Amino acid sequence: MNIMENTNEQEIKIGDYVKLKSDPDQIFIIAEIVDEYTISAIDKNKNRYPLNISDIEIGDYADMLKYEKYPPLFLRPQDLSDSDMYT
């Protein structure tokens, strides 16, 4: 079952990363769509919470990295060789 996110009509589905509008640092992954107003989502500590659709927004790639605890990757131009530029 897919439902539309209230603020900008984006479709949300199980497995999407979402964050609270009131606290964007709180990131969750959707585990279940309960009904057209509620989802069940899991936080970074693997705790499950019911969330109201109107209280969340869809996360982006950076939010996924934060949730999964991947460190940011920084490359200096000198770390790339010429062969890396053409692959």
DSSP summary character for residue 37? S
Instruction: Select the more confidently predicted residue: 7 or 4.
Output: 4
Catalogue the E-assigned strands of the chain. 3-4, 11-12, 17-20, 27-33, 38-43, 48-52, 56-58
pLDDT tens digits for range 16-65: 999 999 999 999 999 999 999 999 999 999 999 999 999 999 999 899 98
Domains and CATH numbers, the chain: 3-85 (2.30.30.140)
Res 9: pLDDT: 66
Asked if 2 and 11 touch (Cβ cutoff 8 Å), the reply is yes
**Average pLDDT value for residue range 60-86:** 73
Q: Residue 30: which of 55, 9, 48 has the closest Cα?
A: 48
Q: Residue 28: which of 15, 38, 37 has the closest Cα?
A: 15
